[in-house]
Structure 1
Amino acid sequence: MKSLRLLMAARRVCAELGQMPALQTHAVKSQWLRTVHSSSSPGPSVTTTSSKTVAPFEDAFAKDQRDKASFVQVLDLFCGRDVRRRGHVELIEAALRWMPQFGVEKDIEVYNKLLDVFPKEVFVPRNFIQTMFLHFPRQQECAVRVLDQMEYYGVTPNKHTYFLLAQTFGKHSHPVKKYQRMMYWFPRFKYANPYPVPADLEADPVALSKVCLDRIAADRDAKVTVYQLPASEVREDGTVQEHSHLVGIQSPDQMSLLAEHDPSYPVIVEGPFPLWLKKTCVHYYVLRAEPGASKKVEIGAERCFYYPLQLDLDLERDLGDDLSFDVDDVEEGPVYAMCMAGSGDERTLGRWIHCLQESNPILGQLPVLFRLTSGPQELTLPTQDETESPKEGEARQSSTEEEEETRQSRRMEQ
């Protein structure tokens, strides 16, 4: 009876389909087959309302308050908006560009939070073929870019970073290999520089000048002296005069070299020369001399018996020696002192020379020559020819031609 009932129902459906048009029949068939063979999709239902759409990520990071809390808040809102986290690659790339402006480019917790944005256990390869052919390449390259930025800013990953990478891409993925290389080389190069740059540079110009001069000086016995602190002075006429900072450094060897300077040669103040400390650029000035400005050492009459004091032997060379490479030795004058000043004008640097006379009395007998170049903060004003418009230039040229014609006519009349 049950099979008979099913046959009658199928006959009735076929009769109804025969009376329908072709397009309508195809739609009904597909709908009927879909209801029989399809099943519900796994996971929660995805709504496409306007409240669930992802906002532009550049606008999401463009905030007035830019700190770590607001940056993490954007990531939390994105992770809680959609379970599948569509657009996570675009969000991470936008976040990497905005990290320096939020001041979190050296925070390991924020980098781990970025790696946590990836959906978990979705991009893990299931067999060795997927592992060999770079399973989900765009997502893996995005994770490698996160690690590259960590390497650029000197951020060492931790165990939580490895856990997130292994959970997202597997233990044999390219981001995990990048993590392993970083953990191998970072501890070896961390203390390779004997004079590392401080992690946090001083905001005070005097303290920053001390750090910079200590790095420039080749002698550990060099002494840093603060000649002038930044201050403002009110004059008698009511005007305010700003005094910039002035910090100098000099070693005992430089003082002895300056004492042997020939008075017939001047000393030269040169600068400014740039010095970069991470992203901060400062400028310094040097007090130096021309080559050959030191006093000549006279050889005594008794020492003539031992002259020459050095012996140059022309040793035989093998035929395989290459004599074509030659290096010209360029002689440079000795550097007597260095300084950093807020303003590099002759007045400020002249005060530095005056302060150096207390420990170097010979500076009172030497002429001082200033060779100063315009620093990057100094701008030259455009001339009158550059500022005038093309119309003004044409009018001036036409008036000049009229004056020349008038002069020639007067000459002809005479």
Structure 2
Amino acid sequence: MTATASDAAALDAADPLAAHRDLFVGAETPLVYFDGNSLGRPLKVTGPRIAAFVEQQWGGRLIRGWDEAWMSMPSAVGDRIGSICLGAAPGQTVVGDSTTVLLYKALRAGVAARPGRTEIVLDRDNFPTDRYVAAGVAEELGLSLRWIDVDTSAGVTLEQVREVVGEQTAVVLLSHVAYRSAWLADAPAITRAVHDAGALVLWDLSHSVGSVPLELDAWEVDLAVGCTYKYLDGGPGAPAFVYVGEHLHEDLRQPIPGWLGHADPFAMGPGYTPAPGIRRMISGTPAVVGMLAMQDMLDLLGEVGMAAVREKSLALTDLALRLADETLAPLGVGVASPRDPERRGGHVTLTHPAMREATTRLWADDVIPDYRDPGGLRLGLSPLSTSYAEVAAGMERIREVLVDLATSTP
């Protein structure tokens, strides 16, 4: 056993969360999964939950299920996400629609809540959907986009936000954890700076929810959106969630009024009256099946606690960085993620000109990271389903592939 393998084995032996790994489908195989920040592994209890739903609720209760449980699921599951992951009191989080649709709804509603202001602020390295949605809202309403230029190995800083916000700022749209670099933005300080300018803040939590502890209420966040198929293991295409701070509830008007966001959905009236509170952010029929899997992960996260999840997340990324420095840096590999743990989310990005080709070879070998231009190999380490030995094995295979690519290049 190599020294690196010995170190990883010792870390696994001392890991208080190690036993939870056996709860995930596929964890017993030699496959190395470095993409938990794109699609989380399912829990083993999820298959039986879905089967039971088909047989007992869908098949057994049929349409009665809407009255008995399904209609309230967006708010009930939203409250659990809020309590366990967001630091949010009940009645401020709801599940529904995709991340893209909820981003549009939240941004459009936020802009409308600041009439007369003409700018949306965001950074050029934000996730493409965020940038595209912001551009669409700006075009729709005749607004301007105010761009923040960032270091793609880092992310948006408090100082940069202070430089661009002002009396024309309506909404500042930022990612809490940058999708490329894993830069962890200073959300409480940035939120205060946005409020000092009289604007609202909309945080994209897609790469932080279930990985980084959040305190949206304490930070006085206005709006937030996040997906549920990464660290919440909701499964492919699982519906996203939206958080709206209670202070905005009665003033906010979202742009896609649907029957289930009506104050009295079954009145079937001629006009739209928004429901009180967070339910006004709902538009159409809830994605009931899409909310099943994430409930299992919420059970586990509630049992373990986000503080313990964060502690292991940092230990996993620390190991990945140490191995990158020791075994990959001599091959020309760079690190495009923050080394400061206070500024790092749950993944690490490594750079090298051959990373695109390396990713193809790694996938064929059952080592599964993902690739992000320019030349970035992204390692998403999900704390409850990833072991230290898995990290060590995957990093060694990355080294072998890069050596092979270098020696086979004419």
Normalising by the smaller structure, the TM-score range is under 0.3
Higher relative contact order structure (alpha carbons within 8 Å, sequence separation ≥ 6): 2
Bigger radius of gyration among the two: 1
TM-score, normalised on structure 1?
A: 0.25
